[in-house]
């Protein structure tokens, strides 16, 4: 039996993209905890894409403003090529992008492509949220924005296509976006929405942490191409306001730790947790899955042993397409339960 690789096996194209992203994000981080948005704007100028009402690859898109004063908006992805038997009610996926709470947006090409694939392949109506970014806007701004999107969908149903079914709603996100999706799901459970039902959560390599240094964080130092202790420590400081108890063992960071919220009393949705073998955050992600199970929640773990953090945004990787299939199966299985 062959030994597992000591480093991720990636195409040069993927490695070059990762190197460019890492260099620009590192260069934008200032020692005083702020971000050089002008430098980032120069970088992002070439990687953003406009919404397009003309169908492209079976999906049309539009941007919907919720609150212009805080630049809260979402990109709506609507599949246009459906089989007759499937051309009825579609599930709704509310998606939160990654970027350590500090970077990126729904109109970045990689996330536009990802959400387009979700909409087409699952199929589903996808809502990709532009939430406020740290450090200009710290916790709990991102969670408030996410919850406000759900409130907006309930009060302004007309922005959605007629076949969007809010009784089959999923929250999803990758990295920091998966952290947001978890906390928005928790608040939605506590709020007992009547006109929207969250039946599933897709946590793709969620960004959790703690004061402890895990085995993966130590062993993958210098191997993980995107995530490092230095980067994540900086992001947590940018995200959390200063004050007593605002460290990495706070309940919103170390969700399964000593300060964890009791979710056993909540009707928390079925959760799919995605983990990769070369992701420094994988120990925190597995603990999250185990914590859900310990609290009696329906949870599933999907592992990609030879992949990196954010692997699925690179369509050239076969595992990216495989994960889309896994998400599709999860959505369909949860929808079948409420028929």
Residue from 107, 224, 309, 320 carrying the catalytic annotation: 309
Query: Can you tell me which residue has the tokens 């403003």?
Result: 65
Q: Order the strands of the 125-130 sheet from edge to edge.
A: 59-67, 72-79, 125-130, 90-96, 164-174, 198-204, 270-278, 299-308
- The 10 Å CB-count burial string (b at 16+, else e) for 89-126 is ebbbbbbbbbbbbbbbbbbbebbbebbbbbbbbbbbbb
Handedness of CA 259, 299, 326, 81 (dihedral sign): negative
The answer to whether residue 279 is catalytic is: yes
Report yes or no: 61 and 52 within 8 Å, Cβ to Cβ: yes
Which of 145, 279, 280, 283 is the catalytic position?
Answer: 279
- CA-angle at 125, arms to 338 and 156, nearest 5°: 90
Query: What residues pair up with 251 in beta bridges, in sequence order?
Result: none
The residue annotated as part of the active site, out of 175, 256, 280, 320, is 175
User: 169 pairs with which residues across the strands?
Assistant: 92, 198
Residue 232 to residue 314: CA distance in whole angstroms: 22
Active site residue 249: no
**228 is a catalytic site residue:** no
Catalytic center residues: 175, 279, 309
């Amino acid at each position: 039996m062959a030994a597992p690789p000591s480093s991720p096996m990636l195409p040069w194209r993927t490695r070059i993209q990762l190197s460019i992203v890492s260099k620009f994000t590192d260069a934008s981080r200032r020692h005083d905890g702020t971000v050089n948005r002008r430098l980032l704007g120069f970088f992002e100028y070439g990687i953003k894409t406009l919404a397009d009402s003309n169908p492209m690859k079976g999906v049309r898109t539009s941007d919907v403003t919720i609150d212009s004063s805080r630049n809260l908006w979402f990109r709506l992805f609507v599949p246009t090529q459906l089989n007759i038997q499937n051309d009825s009610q579609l599930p709704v996926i509310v998606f939160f992008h990654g970027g350590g709470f500090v970077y990126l947006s729904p109109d970045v090409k990689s996330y536009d492509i990802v959400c387009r694939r979700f909409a087409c392949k699952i199929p589903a109506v996808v809502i990709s949220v532009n939430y406020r970014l740290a450090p200009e806007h710290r916790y709990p701004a991102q969670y408030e924005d996410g919850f406000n999107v759900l409130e907006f969908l309930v009060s302004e149903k007309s922005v959605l296509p007629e076949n969007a079914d809010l009784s089959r709603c999923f929250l999803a996100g990758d990295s920091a976006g998966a952290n947001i999706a978890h906390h928005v799901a928790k608040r939605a459970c506590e709020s007992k929405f009547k006109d929207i039902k969250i039946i599933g959560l897709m946590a793709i390599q969620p960004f959790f942490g703690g004061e402890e240094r895990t085995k993966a964080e130590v062993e993958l130092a210098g191997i993980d191409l995107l995530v490092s202790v230095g980067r994540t420590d900086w992001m947590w400081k940018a995200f959390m306001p200063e004050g007593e108890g605002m460290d990495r063992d706070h309940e919103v960071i170390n969700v399964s730790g000593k300060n964890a919220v009791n979710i056993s009393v909540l009707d928390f949705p079925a959760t799919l947790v995605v983990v990769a073998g070369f992701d420094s955050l994988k120990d925190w992600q597995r603990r999250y899955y185990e914590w859900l199970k310990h609290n009696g929640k329906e949870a599933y773990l999907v592992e990609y042993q030879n992949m990196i953090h954010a692997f699925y945004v690179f369509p050239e990787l076969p595992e990216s397409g495989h994960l889309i299939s896994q998400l599709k199966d999860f959505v369909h299985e949860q929808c079948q339960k409420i028929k």
